[in-house]
Amino acid sequence: MGKTLAEKIWAEHVVRQVEGEPDLLYIDLHLIHEVTSPQAFDGLRLTNRKVRRADLTIATEDHNVPTLNIDKPIADPVSKLQVDTLRANCKEFGIRIHSLGDKDQGVVHVVGPQLGITQPGMTIVCGDSHTSTHGAFGALAFGIGTSEVEHVLATQTLPLQRPKTMAINIEGSLKPGVTSKDIILAVIAKIGTGGGQGYVIEYRGSAIRALSMESRMTVCNMSIEAGARAGLIAPDQTTFDYIKGKPHAPEDFDAAVAYWSPLFTDKDAQFDAEVSLDASELEPFVTWGTNPGQGLPLSGKVPNPAEITDTEARSAAERALVYMGLEAGTSLKSIAIDTVFLGSCTNGRIEDLRAAAEILKGKKIASTLRMLVVPGSARVRLEAEAEGLDKTFIDAGAEWRNAGCSMCLGMNPDQLAVGERSASTSNRNFEGRQGKGGRTHLVSPLVAAATALRGTLSSPADL
């Protein structure tokens, strides 16, 4: 029987396989950042262990860093200590780091692909659950905890139980104004936040093939929001073209393409589960609740918990509506927004900024809200400035910031106030995620931009 893509990559990386034990898997690339690594380096020091492969490891500062005044010392002393600790650890162990002010600083999942070190067929890990982003290249990429960060630093391997595989088939063409963000929000609404648990998801079908690399990254990025540790897409010409010319693209590109080309699921391979979606039926999507599975087409209404039959889902919906300050039956498009956040590892790449800028060009955002535009990396920021996008955003009344995770997780000063409501291109609408008491609606960059202009949740078609 044939193999799925995930099974092929897995098999290529097994260092040791023993019945009754997890497989020992080799890790091709380890990305690190300031929040989930300090205790791992401490562990190495305590046990007198070294970093096995500094040349397969790269660090950047993203989670807690400010997006304003980055030329000045970090004002929050605890954040500063964490960043200083990362810098000292990288120096001590000889690890490459891209610090604030460097053109390759930025959200770790934007940095890997832009450097060309994210390539098909690799195993990639990072102490961050959105590592699945790199799966867009046909890599097996997943988030790990700090104990595992230490394990990879010391051994360049991880003991892992083999996951099950799930195919998500998305056929058909997207309507104008519908994006890959809407695809993944619709997938999560369909299978639920636990639907992908224990699986690696492979996104397949004509709608996926038609996506750009950056749009594919948005889809794979949110696999974890459906409970799957990893999500991937078979590499194709779109993938190869994207990597070509990047700083760390293979020098022997033909040899690499020859290795990458068989990386697809065999015709006779069996997935453990399959889900299908029709792309042509999708509409711009938005979340109304406090987990990413609580989403609906933007043309819909806030659901009535009384109509939900599953008791657990009903009580979750009741709690969510209280937290979100929403009444059942309210039209989603009538919900007024205080802050629009454009950025994050989900939607902070150049295509996302271009798409939003096109809608904002020559217009002004509503006077009732603020809009933060946070490029995914310093390189994306420079690219956007070269295209004049910064001017478009500033002229429209938005704030043009430096790169980082920013308001996606509210670990730096970019936070929502209590009761404040955002339309956010990020990945999680959990209670308090963007700031204590803040209320988040997850949206695509197009919906974010249209919402900024109208002041209420809107799609470009409403303009």
The footprint of another protein on residues 127-186 (CB under 8 A) is 127-129, 143-148, 150-151, 154-157, 159, 161
Contact 213, 113 (CB under 8 A): yes
Told to check if 202 binds another protein by CB under 8 A, we report no
Beta bridge partners of 25: 14, 158
Told to check if 20 binds another protein by CB under 8 A, we report yes
Rg (the chain; Cα; Å) = 21
Nearer residue to another protein within complex by CB, 20 or 73? 20
Told to check if 227 binds another protein by CB under 8 A, we report yes
Q: How far apart, in whole angstroms, are the C-alpha atoms of residue 15 and residue 27? A: 10
Told to check if 117 binds another protein by CB under 8 A, we report yes
Told to check if 251 binds another protein by CB under 8 A, we report yes
Q: How far apart, in whole angstroms, are the C-alpha atoms of residue 325 and residue 76? A: 31
Beta carbon of residue 166, minimum distance to another protein (angstroms, whole number): 13
Which of 11, 68, 75, 255 touches another protein (CB under 8 A)? 255
Sign of the CA dihedral running 272, 278, 284, 285: negative
Told to check if 395 binds another protein by CB under 8 A, we report no
Nearer residue to another protein within complex by CB, 58 or 282? 58
Beta carbon of residue 423, minimum distance to another protein (angstroms, whole number): 19
**Residue 241 region by backbone torsions, left for phi larger than 0, else alpha for psi between -120 and 50, else beta:** alpha
Q: How far apart, in whole angstroms, are the C-alpha atoms of residue 275 and residue 255? A: 35
- Of 249, 208, 286, nearest to 462 by C-alpha is 286
Beta carbon of residue 180, minimum distance to another protein (angstroms, whole number): 21
- Looking at 1-9, 38-46, 280-288, 356-364, which segment touches another protein (CB under 8 A)? 38-46
Told to check if 309 binds another protein by CB under 8 A, we report no
Residue written as token pair 């979750």: 316
Contacts of another protein in 312-331 (CB under 8 A): 312, 315-316, 319
Contacts of another protein in 69-108 (CB under 8 A): 76, 78-79, 81-82, 85, 96, 104
| Burial category of 245 from C-beta neighbours within 10 Å (exposed 0-12, middle 13-18, buried 19 and up) | exposed
Nearer residue to another protein within complex by CB, 156 or 392? 156
Strands 96-98, 57-60: pairing is parallel
Which of 169, 197, 212, 238 touches another protein (CB under 8 A)? 197
Beta carbon of residue 137, minimum distance to another protein (angstroms, whole number): 11
Which of 49, 50, 91, 364 touches another protein (CB under 8 A)? 49
Q: How far apart, in whole angstroms, are the C-alpha atoms of residue 5 and residue 26? A: 17
Reported residue count of the chain is 463
The pair phi, psi for residue 17, each rounded to 5°, is -130, 120
The 8-class DSSP code of residue 307 comes to G
Which of 119, 265, 406, 458 touches another protein (CB under 8 A)? 119
Token readout for 214 is 């950056």
Contacts of another protein in 352-391 (CB under 8 A): none
Told to check if 122 binds another protein by CB under 8 A, we report yes
Told to check if 436 binds another protein by CB under 8 A, we report yes
